[in-house]
A and B are shown apart, each in its own frame.
Chain A
Amino acid sequence: MFSVLTDNWDLFGQGFWTTIKLFLISGVLSLVLGTLLGTFRVSPVPALRGVGTGYVNILRNTPLTLVFAFLVFGAPKMNIELPSFFWSAVVALTIYTSAFICEVVRSGINTIPPGQTEAGRAIGMSFIQVLSVIVLPQAFRAIQPPLMSVLIALLKNTTIAAGFSVAEAGAIPAAMAERGENQMLTLVWITIGFLILIVPLIFLQRWAERRTAVA
């Protein structure tokens, strides 16, 4: 049981390290892009709202696997170059995840009582000021639990990169088959690895949930 892990420590270590890198980089990028799109969706400019809505509707209805396939096999065909398959994966995960973050941010903005924004406007604040000083700081507290859900999903979604030449944790089973190792034990260890990564996130989510419930 343990030898499957210890004999192939190089594979597991590197695989999960790549998973973590994928998760962190695309997580940060998705938060930035998702928040931007979220503000687009509530902005006074109709075209910006259109961009936000269109983006969300297309990406939420496309399988992530297809986004990956498009970037890895499609984009180079039209001479759009990304430095490596790792970065193709980062871009795919970011494009996809930010659509979901956008929706979370938007629903968070909608939870802020109108009185707050009205008060902001009454003292002469602009849309940008109302959003950045009054709405978003409060919204971010309200949306922490759903945001964690999206990030947890992102972490799990990194496994799809295995089908597109990124040697992350999801690619371990194929490499272990090459080494002739027991597939089921391999999968058990991968599961344990993911639980180790995800359980802290879940506890963080619970904690945020309790905090927002009190507030």
Chain B
Amino acid sequence: MRMRNLVATLGVGALALTAVACGKDEPAASGGGGGNASDSCGDLHKFTTASGVDVAGSPTFTKMKSAGKVTVGVKADQPNLGYKDAGGKRCGFDIEVARMMAAGLGFDPDKIEYKEIPSANRETAIAGGEVNYYVGTYSITDKRKKQVSFAGPYFIAGQDLLVRKDDTSMDAGKTALKGKKVCSATGSTPIQRVKDEQLTEASNISEFKTYSECVSQLLDKKTDAVTTDDAILKGYAATAPDQLRVVGKPFSTEKYGIGLPLADKALRDKMNSILETSASDGTWKAIYDETLGKSGSTSTPPPLEKY
């Protein structure tokens, strides 16, 4: 008797699996009933892969070379920056920078392996060699420079607030945060600033692994503001403009750098020179306009900080 039950259950399970196994190929361009923005990533920028590259004295490069691929740490949930669509394709400004670096180091786009690393684990992942380099809204700070090193900056952002569209109580910017519930990613610079400057009470701070989870809490009124760099927030606001908006009073300067293992000066120099070239030949502007620039803003390549 029992055995027959078991077989029946197995059969139903198998049926369910086959039922699932047929599906549509590509996510539709417009997201079903009422989605505003297309979820799918469009065409990516075409970089020319450099040939015969050698970065003398770079242990990381030697590792990439012998592996025949580059492993890049990225984020997956930030529209227009580091995003993975429903079809599994990745796009955004950070992704383009990561691809540009790979191309400049002589690796074709299909030789890139992306790894999603949460903010709190970035230093350990870079220092431990889980990724070769990291491109994911990673602010250059003195404290982090003790554990990893940075090429760049390749972009300058500022900490801002994302609020519900109808909520005007925080339009004054960071001074209006007292008594408000604030959410950000665990281990990120913005939440550390909120704590250090005591912009709101400790009990009002919530932290999640990703910003998406914070935005979800914001829409559910479990938090009043999501704080992080405006570049990230604009991506969300552009996705749901009838529900969300960015306050627009940035209260910090965040220099995004490419995270590298601490001792690898040779690779850092090489990446800085790739960035320099991209700034002068117009590549930087091209990939900006194709990604972050879509929400209407303009920007210029920031000056590099070589060390």
Residue positions of A touching B, CB distance < 8 A: 73, 76-77, 85, 163-165, 167, 171, 174-175, 177-178, 180, 183
A167: chain B residues within 8 A (beta carbon): 207
- Given known pairs A174-B186, A177-B121, A177-B124, the reply for A76 and B209 (CB within 8 Å) is no
Q: How far is the CB of B150 from chain A (nearest CB, A)?
A: 15
Q: A165-B208, A174-B186 are in contact. Are A183 and B124 (CB under 8 A)?
A: yes
Please indicate the chain B residues that have their CB under 8 angstroms from the CB of A175 in the complex: 187
Q: Is B147 an interface residue (CB 8 A)?
A: yes
Pair B206/A85 contact, Cβ less than 8 Å: yes
Contact with A along B159-189 (1 / 0, CB 8 A): 0000000000000000000000001001100
Give the residue name and chain of the B residue nearest to A69 (CB): B213
Nearest residue, chain A, Cβ from B147: A180
CB distance from B295 to the nearest CB of A (A): 26
Q: Which of B147, B187, B221, B222 contacts A174 (CB 8 A)?
A: B187
Residues in A with CB closer than 8 Å to B222 are 76
**Which partner residue on chain A sits nearest B216 by CB separation?**
A73
- Is there contact, CB below 8 Å, between B187 and A73? no
In the assembled complex, the Cα of A155 lies from the Cα of B141 at a distance in Å of 37
Q: How many A-B residue pairs have CB under 8 A?
A: 35
How would residues 203 to 216 of chain B score, 1 for a CB under 8 Å from any chain A CB and 0 otherwise? Answer: 00011110001001
B2 touches A (CB below 8 Å)? no
Q: Which of B146, B183, B222 has the most CB of A within 10 A?
A: B222
Complex CA distance for A85 and B187, rounded to whole angstroms: 18
**Complex CA–CA separation, A174 to B185 (angstroms):** 11
Inter-chain CA distance A180–B262, complex, in Å, is 14
Measured between beta carbons, the chain A residues less than 8 angstroms from B143 are: 180
Chain A's closest residue to B181 (CB) is A84
A76 and B217 contacting across the interface, CB-CB below 8 Å: yes
Q: Interface residues of B, CB < 8 Å — how many?
A: 21
Among residues of A, the one whose C-beta sits closest to the C-beta of B220 is A76
- The one of B120, B209, B216 in contact with A178, judged by C-beta atoms closer than 8 angstroms, is B120
Could you list 4 further interchain pairs (A-B, Cβ under 8 angstroms) beyond the known A77-B220, A174-B186?
A85-B206, A165-B208, A177-B123, A180-B146
Q: Which residues of B contact A164 (CB under 8 A)?
A: 208
- CB-CB under 8 A from B147, the residues of chain A are 180
| Interface residue B252 (Cβ < 8 Å from any Cβ of A) | no
* A178 pairs with B121, CB closer than 8 A: no
Chain A contacts of B36 at CB under 8 A? none
10 closest A-B pairs by beta carbon, nearest first, are: A76-B220, A174-B120, A165-B206, A178-B187, A174-B186, A177-B120, A165-B207, A174-B187, A76-B222, A177-B187
Are the CB atoms of A178 and B192 closer together than 8 Å? yes
Which of chain A's residues have a CB closer than 8 A to the CB of B124? Answer: 177, 183
- Bound complex: CA A163 to CA B183 (Å): 14
The CA-CA distance from A167 to B120 in the complex, in Å, is: 14
Q: How far, in angstroms, from A148 to B249 measured CA to CA in the complex?
A: 54
Cβ of A165: which chain B residues have Cβ within 8 Å of it? 183, 206-208
For the complex, give the distance between the alpha carbons of A192 and B208 in Å: 26
A163 contacts which chain B residues (CB < 8 A)?
209
Bound-state Cα–Cα, A178 to B220, Å: 28
Q: Which residues of A contact B206 (CB under 8 A)?
A: 85, 165
Per the bound structure, the CA–CA distance linking A150 and B222 in Å amounts to: 32
B120 touches A73 (CB 8 A): no
